[in-house]
Amino acid sequence: MKKFLLIVVAIAVLITASYFGFLHNTNYSEGVRSGELIRVSHKGILFKTWEGEISQGISGAQIFSFSVMDSEKQVIADLNQMEGQYVQVSYKELYKTFPWWGDSRFFITSVKKVNSPFKIK
């Protein structure tokens, strides 16, 4: 009976580890988005995560919400410096997120400042 229970627990642990490993290492999509960086914040009660928003329209009607992994220190620093500016971000979209990763399924991997196409010269 103990051997059977040990096998069942081992299988459950293996399935759980495989599930988390799949979700963490597999991207649903990757891409680039541009817009005005309107918000970057470190929020949460139990799990503190970095969250932000980019306005992709003139009126701010199209908002792209994203998260940033805590391990991306340079991206977080760059986002904090570029708030209010027009930026281009590279992201990866995961199948699912967990509370300790962030609110969004979109995770920023790099950011750079670009010229706004809406500026009047």
For 31, 50, 86, the CA distances from 73, given in Å and listed in that order, are 20, 11, 20
Which domains does the chain carry? 27-113 (2.40.50.140)
pTM of the model: 0.76
Instruction: Kindly report, residue by residue over 60-76, the tens digit of the pLDDT.
Output: 678 999 999 888 899 99
Positive or negative, the CA dihedral 70, 75, 78, 82 is negative
pLDDT at 84: 86
